[in-house]
Amino acid sequence: MGLTLLLAHFDDSAQKRALLCSAGLVLPLGEAIGRVGCFYGGCCDGRASRKRGEEKDGFIGCNGSIPLLSASINLTLYVVVVTLLMCGVLSIEEAALLAVAFNGFVRVFANHFRKDLTRLRGLRGVSPTTLFASFQGVGAMLAFSRL
C-alpha cells in the first residue's frame, strides 16, 4: 500500500519506473538481511527451531543453516547484479528483473531443504511459499525476455 501511495505522488512515468526498478533491485539484499534475522529468531527453520537433542539432519550437516544459505546466495546475487549494472552490462530494468527472478529461484531452492514447511505442504507436497516463489521467478524471467 505504501508503494502505491508513493507511486501516486510521481507525475512522470519514468520516475515511477525508476522507483519500481529500484525496489526490485534491492529485493535480494533485503531478503539476505531478513534471513539472518530468521536464523537468529528461529523461524524459517532457523537455529532456534531445533529442539535440544534433535539429530542434525538439515542441509550442510545441521538443522537451521537454511536461512544462512539463503542469505549468502541472495547477497552474492545482489552484488553480481549491481556490479553488472554499474559496469553498464545491464540496464536498470534488466537488473531489477534479474534480481527479482534470482530471488524467486533462491527461495524455491532453499524451500526444498526446509524442515518447517512440512506442515504447510498442500496439494502434492508443494507449499504455498514455493508456489509463489516459482511464479515470481518465472514471471520476472518472462518480463525480462520481453525487454
The pLDDT value given to residue 59:
38
Which class for 56: exposed (0-12), middle (13-18), buried (19 or more C-beta within 10 A)? exposed
Residue ranges making up the domain that contains 79: 24-145
In a domain, 36, yes or no: yes
Mean pLDDT of 85-107: 92
pLDDT over 70 at 117, yes or no: no
In a domain, 57, yes or no: yes
Are 107 and 69 in contact by the 8 Å Cβ rule? The answer is no
In a domain, 107, yes or no: yes
In a domain, 3, yes or no: no
Helices then strands, counting H and E runs in the chain, come out as: 6, 0
Q: How many domains does the chain have?
A: 1
In a domain, 11, yes or no: no
The pLDDT value given to residue 120:
55
The pLDDT value given to residue 95:
93
Write out pLDDT tens, residues 106-116.
988 887 777 65
| String of DSSP letters for 77-110 | HHHHHHHHHHTTSS-HHHHHHHHHHHHHHHHHHH
In a domain, 12, yes or no: no
